Amino acid sequence: MPRIFNPESLAETLWNLERVRLSGEQIDPSETDEALDWIIKRQKDPGRYGLGFAAPMEADYQTSTLPSGEKLHTRAGTAHLLGEEAFWALSKWRGPETPGVREGIIGILGRSRRFPSMADKGRYCCATCSLSLWRAIVASEIDEGKAFVHRGLSTVSMNRDGKLGWRNFPFGYTVFALSSLEHPIADVELKYAEGRIVRALRRLRPENDPFGLRQLGYKKALERLK
């Protein structure tokens, strides 16, 4: 089994932590502590997206993927998404009061209000980054963000593509994110996509799911619908 902490990649460290958490793997707590302590250190290193965000490593800009395997494309998007996913990881493993989490998310919510046409839809940056922000808000338990998440999930619903997916929202990561959000609209959207999730899980190949998180997301989504 590979180490959880990869000092060359914030993304791989985050996805390893999430795989362990979702799968229930039994590992030495010192391994998760090593990874989490390093993520906290990255909150103060150069290259971070904003206050409290963990800074990616240079390798992350070259090779990073979403936890579900889809490619990350831009430097800003990579820094933003990995920072939000770091908030998720710190909140889930160390608790939402972990230093930097609340301050960072409140800061992003404040920045989102500069763009009312996006904020009114619960969006910040692109659709993919918005999914990571909703995850971070929910994990952080910040009351100020609940309405933002509700508007965002409503936007997902309005972007159904008629093919059991959503326009502009990458299918694997969208299902992964929705399966982690305890919200009635998330359940409705997973039900809408159920047939495609079943097919996608059956056809999934390891090379398209390097961390096993797309499979775990699909399985969790289907469990939610039972």
Per residue in 175-214, pLDDT (tens digit) is: 999 999 999 999 999 999 999 999 999 999 998 899 999 9
Asked if residue 5 belongs to a domain, the reply is no
Give percent of the chain with pLDDT exceeding 90. Answer: 94
Question: What mean pLDDT value characterizes the chain?
Answer: 95
- Residue 161, in any domain of the structure: yes
CA–chain centroid gap for 34, Å, is: 21
pLDDT bin (cut points 50, 70, 90) of residue 63 is confident
Whether residue 87 contacts residue 140, with contact meaning beta carbons closer than 8 Å, is answered with yes
**Total number of domains in the chain:** 1
195 lies in which domain range?
Answer: 10-224
Decide if 196 is inside a domain. Answer: yes
Threshold 0.75, pTM exceeds? yes
pLDDT at 1 over 70: no
Where residue 64 falls among pLDDT bands split at 50, 70, 90? confident
Is the residue at 184 inside a domain? yes
User: pLDDT confidence of 169, banded at 50, 70, 90?
Assistant: very high
* CA atoms of 80 and 55, how far apart (whole Å): 9
Question: Which tens digits make up the pLDDT trace of 37-55?
Answer: 999 999 999 999 999 999 9
Residue 218 clears pLDDT 60, i.e. is over it = yes
Residue 1 lies in a domain: no
2 assigned to some structural domain: no
Q: Count Cβ atoms within 10 A of the Cβ of residue 110 and give its class: 0-12 exposed, 13-18 middle, 19 or more buried.
A: exposed
What are phi and psi for residue 65, nearest 5 degrees?
-125, 165
Nearest CA to 177 among 211, 109, 129? 129
On whether residue 3 sits in a domain, the answer given is no
Under 8 Å between Cβ of 66 and 60 = no
Question: Which tens digit of pLDDT belongs to each residue from 91-114?
Answer: 999 999 999 999 999 999 999 999
* Integer angstrom CA distances of residue 81 from 61, 122, 130: 12, 16, 8
Residue 40 lies inside a defined structural domain of this protein: yes
Would you give the end-to-end CA distance of the chain in angstroms? 32
